[in-house]
Amino acid sequence: MQNTIRKNGFILLLVIAMIPLIGMVLAIIMTNSNLLIIRTRRGELQAQAQNACLSGQAWAQQNREKVQLLVPEDPIILTIEDGIRHINCRIERVQDMTNGEMLLIIGHAEDSRFSVDYKLQNVFLTLQ
């Protein structure tokens, strides 16, 4: 009977000693998972901003007559709202000293915590 009590007491001590170790492992895992969530959200917003730029470029190619009427200080802003995120594309006409007139297309995506911009450069304005 005394051996049984000693074995049960030893097992109880092992279990009590394991609780803080398990807690530390869980804390490390939760920290890493939070970092992965943050990276994933930022990556998703970057992809959405880039897609907004590419959509704006396609829109500008399809609507050349509207783009030709752009004044440099008055951009066109294409907006997508889905309740959680705000995504837009800003298309403006800029003057470049070496290449003539170009379009500056900036995609912007934001949610409650992050904001990301993506810029397409060297989009030449063809007026044909």
For residue 127, name the pLDDT band (cuts at 50, 70, 90): very low
Q: What secondary structure does DSSP assign to 67-91, as a single string?
A: HHT-BTTB-EEEEEE-SS-EEEEEE
Say whether pLDDT at 42 is over 90: yes
Q: Which two tokens stand for residue 39?
A: 């990276």
Integer Rg of the chain from CA: 28
Q: Is the pTM of this model over 0.75?
A: no
Domain boundaries, the chain: 2-124
Compute the average pLDDT of residues 50-70. Answer: 88
**DSSP letter assigned to residue 114:** -
The confidence band for 96, taking pLDDT boundaries of 50, 70 and 90, is: low
All residues at 6 or more sequence positions from 4 whose CB lies less than 8 Å from its CB, including other chains: none
Unique residue bearing structure tokens 């829109």: 59
Residue-level pLDDT at 128:
45
Digit-coded pLDDT (tens) for 64-90: 888 888 887 788 899 988 788 899 999
Q: Which CA distances in Å does 53 have to 83, 94, 118? A: 20, 16, 7
Residues 6+ apart with CB under 8 A from 37: none
